[in-house]
Amino acid sequence: MPQPPFILFSDLDGTLLDTFTYQPDGAEAALACLREVGVPLVFCSSKTFEEIVFYQKQLGIHAPFIVENGGAVFVPDGYFHFEIGLEKRRAEFWVKEFGAASAFIRQKLAGAAADLELDVRGFSDLSVSQLAALTGLDEAAAGRAARKDYSETLAAPSDPKSLARLERYLVSPGLALTSGSRFFTVHGANADKGRAAEWLMELFRQVHENPLIAAVGDATNDIPLLRQADKAFLVQKTDGSWVDAGGLPVELAPAPGPKGFDWVVRHLLRNV
C-alpha cells in the first residue's frame, strides 16, 4: 500500500453531505482529487452500516469506516494485508465493536419514557414514511437509517430541558446522549468517534510510516474524532457558525457542508 500524502477521516451529515439534501454536491472535485492521489477517505459518522455502504458504493470509495458515532469499525477483508485479530464479520468486512447493542438502548429509552413521563421516541419507533417525512430522506434511505445496531437517534424529545433530564437518566445504564448535525443520538457511553478512530488509526500506522492523519466534522459528536487527528478541521454549520471545539486547536473551513469539505481537501493538498 503506497504511502499517501495524508489519511482523511470525515463525518458525513453536515460535512461531506449537505445537512438537508444528504448529497455531496460541491465536493465532487475534491473527491476526485483524493482518489487521484490515493488518499484513504474514512467515513466516521452517526450513520448505519447500510447507509455508509450505500455512500461508499455511490462515491466509489473502498476503505474502512466507523458507524453510529463510534459504535463499530468495519474493515474490508484484506484491506491492510495483515491479520487484524478480529473474529466477527459482516458481509465482506471484519468488525470491531465498541458500542452498546441498540436493543439494550431501546429498552432503556422505554424505561426513561415511563419513569420521566417524557415523549421519548427513536427512529425505530417511526414508520418508514414518518421517518422520511422527518428527515427529508426518501423511503429507501429512511429504511437504511432506521436499521441501527449500536445506537438510537431521537425523534423526540427535542427541547433542551427534556433532553437534559433524559441525559441524566441515561448515565446509570452506561449510555450517553450526543448532538449531531440535526438530531440527538443515544449510544454506549464507552463508545465515541474518537475511541473507534484511535483504534483504526493505529492500523494505518502499522502500514505507513508516520502518516499524517486529518479529520473533519461539523458537530459536537465529531470533537472526539478531531482530538485524535494530527490536523483537525471544522466546517461551518448552516447558520454560518462553527461548533464550539472546547479549546481544541482546529482550522475553520469558511463554508458549510460539501463546500467546506472541498475547502479542507484543497487546503490539505496545498499544504502537506
Q: What is the pLDDT of residue 262?
A: 98
Q: Would you state the cell numbers that stand for residue 33, as one nine-digit string?
A: 482529487
Do you find a cis peptide bond into 2, omega within 30 degrees of 0? no
Q: Do residues 212 and 261 both lie within one domain?
A: yes
Structural domain contains residue 54 = yes
Mean pLDDT within 170-179: 95
Q: Do residues 107 and 86 both lie within one domain?
A: no
Q: Do residues 207 and 262 both lie within one domain?
A: yes
Q: Do residues 92 and 107 both lie within one domain?
A: no
The residue assigned the cell 452517526 is 46
Structural domain contains residue 213 = yes
188, 218, 248 — which closes off a domain? 188
Q: Do residues 234 and 264 both lie within one domain?
A: yes
Q: Do residues 21 and 64 both lie within one domain?
A: yes
CATH of the domain at 244: 3.40.50.1000
**How far is it, in rounded angstroms, from Cα 187 to Cα 170?**
10
CATH of the domain at 147: 3.30.980.20
152, 167, 188 — which closes off a domain? 188
Q: Do residues 126 and 180 both lie within one domain?
A: yes
Residue 89 vs residues 43, 92, 100, 140: alpha-carbon distances, Å: 19, 7, 17, 25
172, 188, 204 — which closes off a domain? 188
Structural domain contains residue 182 = yes
Catalytic residue among 11, 18, 125, 149: 11
Which is nearest to 72 in space by CA: 187, 232, 217?
Answer: 187
Q: Do residues 89 and 195 both lie within one domain?
A: yes
**How far is it, in rounded angstroms, from Cα 63 to Cα 133?**
31
Structural domain contains residue 53 = yes
**How far is it, in rounded angstroms, from Cα 205 to Cα 82?**
13
Q: Do residues 195 and 241 both lie within one domain?
A: yes
- How many Cα neighbours within 13 Å face the side chain of 197? 29
**How far is it, in rounded angstroms, from Cα 73 to Cα 198?**
11
Annotate the chain with DSSP letters as a single string: -PPPS-EEEE-TBTTTB-TTT---TT-HHHHHHHHHHT--EEEE-SS-HHHHHHHHHHHT--S-EEEGGGTEEEEETTSSSS-----EEETTEEEEE-SPPHHHHHHHHHHHHHHHT---EEGGGS-HHHHHHHH---HHHHHHHH--SSEEEEEE--SHHHHHHHHHHHHTTTEEEEE-SSSEEEEETT--HHHHHHHHHHHHHHHSSS--EEEEE-SGGGHHHHHHSSEEEEEEPTTS-----TT---EEEEEEHHHHHHHHHHHHHHH-
The residue assigned the cell 504511502 is 3
Query: Residue 179 sits in which domain range?
Result: 102-188
Residue 241 vs residues 13, 29, 245, 261: alpha-carbon distances, Å: 16, 25, 12, 15
Structural domain contains residue 1 = no
Q: Do residues 88 and 200 both lie within one domain?
A: yes
Count of structural domains within the chain: 2
Structural domain contains residue 2 = no
Structural domain contains residue 19 = yes
Which is nearest to 13 in space by CA: 44, 35, 50, 54?
Answer: 44
125 catalytically annotated? no
Q: Kindly tell me if the per-residue pLDDT of 1 is higher than 80.
A: no
> Which residues have a Cβ under 8 Å from the Cβ of 208 and sit 6 or more positions away?
1, 3, 4, 7
Q: What is the pLDDT of residue 181?
A: 83
Q: Kindly tell me if the per-residue pLDDT of 202 is higher than 90.
A: yes
Q: Do residues 55 and 176 both lie within one domain?
A: no
Q: Do residues 23 and 93 both lie within one domain?
A: yes
Q: What is the pLDDT of residue 223?
A: 97
Question: pLDDT tens digit string along 204-252?
Answer: 999 999 999 999 999 999 999 999 999 999 999 999 999 999 999 999 9
Question: pLDDT tens digit string along 52-96?
Answer: 999 999 999 999 999 999 999 999 999 999 999 999 999 999 999
Structural domain contains residue 243 = yes
Question: pLDDT tens digit string along 127-173?
Answer: 999 999 999 999 999 999 999 999 999 999 999 999 999 999 999 99
Q: What is the pLDDT of residue 77?
A: 96
